[in-house]
Amino acid sequence: MIGIDAIDFTTSRYFIEMSDLAVARGVPVEKYVDGLHQRQMSVAPPNEDAVTLGYAAASKILDDTSDIGLFIFATESSIDQSKSAGTFLLDVLQLPRSCITYEIKQACFSGTAALFAAYNYVAMNKNKRALVVASDIARYTIHSPGEATQGCGAVAMIISNDPKVLSIDPTYGSYSTNTYDFYRPNCQSEAIVDGALSAKMYLTALKESFKEFSVKSGASISDIDYFCYHTPFCKMAIKAHDNLVGDRTSAMADSLVYNSVIGNSYSASLYISLLSLLHNSQNDISGRRIGMFSYGSGCVGQYFCCKPQKNYFDFIKKSDFIALRERISIKEYEAVHYHNSPKYHETSGSLSLETLTSQRKYVLLSKYSKP
């Protein structure tokens, strides 16, 4: 049986309140809090990039690394067009010299692509484990409709043949098509998005990939006990659940606890939903079937299932780092957003970005970053 042996996540140490953003943008607070179902949004300071966040998540779960033979880094916030994000972490994570690392990209779907590649690797290499890190910083233009759906986060997972946390059913349904719902050409630091089209494609991919999953597995909705969705903003996951299942929202409410205060974390988002469910469910859900919908714009969707192992809760640590984040003002958030562009000088006033640098033990900056 193959599955997740260890899993943990992280986000940045700063956040803004959605109510502050609504006031600053002249939008009714209810639009963000009820309409998008988001309460807060994580903000990554200039010295935290996808690699830094990925390190912070991976260092929480790695013990003995000698049998890690594969390390896949899933991201669409990469810091180099040639060198994969994982190479920055080979030494600091003390991975063996025999461990292969590479990067996977397909928008938010890449975390799932990495998970299934790791699944196949451990199926062929019985005495090895694989490390998957999915890490992203969601960026849209300030004052655009997408602005309220930013955020950041990273998940790290170890995949093994004898998983302590959950088993993965390799039967999946999928749906792919070439679409321009959301994309970021090389010249852009922020995504270009057609919001209405992106929601439509998300729901189409959900319907079609579930249909194929159902045919291949013989399972129907009533065979699934809990539901996790890629969560660009919580209302999207709620709508997805409504489309797929109808009124059984109680089977997914626990999966939204973290995303509602982090915002979008692209490739990490589905697995942050999974951890949210595992951490926040009042019941022991071992042996229960969890339906997982992964979506990446452009677009690829995949539906699959997993099952928590007996005593899974002994192997997932719930920590309070979300509550320990620091709230920053909208002016500080704007300075962070513009820190590498000429607009920074127009917006930052007397603010010093040094006040926003992270206290993390390790800060891994790309050679080109300007802290």
Residues that bind ligand HMG in the complex, under the rule CB under 6 A:
28, 30-31, 34-36, 76, 107-108, 145-146, 148-149, 182, 193, 195, 198-199, 202, 230, 232-233, 235-236, 264, 266, 295-297
Q: Closest separation between CB of residue 204 and ligand HMG, Å?
A: 11
User: Cα 109 to chain center, whole Å?
Assistant: 9
CA 69, CA 128: separation in Å to the nearest integer? 6
Query: To the nearest whole angstrom, how small is the minimum distance from the Cβ of residue 67 to ligand HMG?
Result: 32
The answer to whether 70 touches 123, Cβ cutoff 8 Å, is no
Q: At what angle do helices 110-124 and 269-280 cross, to 10 degrees?
A: 80
Q: Give the residue with the Cβ less far from ligand HMG, 121 or 293.
A: 293
Token digits of residue 279: 């951490």
Q: Are strands 151-160 and 129-138 parallel, antiparallel or unpaired?
A: antiparallel
Rounded least distance, CB 97 to ligand HMG, Å: 33
The single residue of 76, 103, 332, 334 carrying the catalytic annotation is 76
Q: Is 76 a residue of the active site?
A: yes
Give Cα 147 to chain centroid, integer Å: 17
Structure tokens of 288? Answer: 């229960």
- Yes or no: say if 9 and 268 are a contact pair by the CB < 8 Å rule: yes
Rank residues 70 and 148 by Cβ distance to ligand HMG and give the closer one.
148
The question of whether 345 is a catalytic residue gets the answer no
Q: Which of 197/221 has CB closer to ligand HMG?
A: 197
The residue (of 235 and 339) whose beta carbon lies closer to ligand HMG is: 235
Rank residues 12 and 294 by Cβ distance to ligand HMG and give the closer one: 294
8 A C-beta contact, residue 221 and residue 192: no
| CB-based burial label for 368 (10 Å; 0-12, 13-18, 19+) | exposed
Q: Which is nearer to ligand HMG, 8 or 181 (CB)?
A: 181
Token pair listed for 166: 């959950």
Q: Tell me the one-letter amino acid at 4.
A: I
Q: How far is the CB of 371 from ligand HMG (least distance, A)?
A: 26
Please report how close the Cβ of residue 182 comes to ligand HMG at its closest, in angstroms: 5
With 0-12 / 13-18 / 19 or more C-beta atoms within 10 angstroms meaning exposed / middle / buried, residue 120 is: middle
Contact 181, 77 (CB under 8 A): no
Task: Report the nearest approach of ligand HMG to the CB of residue 342 (Å).
Answer: 25
Distance between CA atoms of residues 98 and 235, nearest Å? 43
Of 323, 369, 329, nearest in space to 351 by CA:
329
Continuous segment of H or E residues that includes residue 304: strand 300-308
The minimum distance between CB 276 and ligand HMG, in angstroms, equals 17
Q: Which is nearer to ligand HMG, 34 or 354 (CB)?
A: 34
230 catalytically annotated: yes
Catalytic-role residue among 37, 99, 103, 108: 108
Select which of 230, 241, 337, 339 is catalytic: 230
HSE-up (13 A, CA, CB side) for residue 20: 13
Catalytic sites, residue numbers: 76, 108, 230
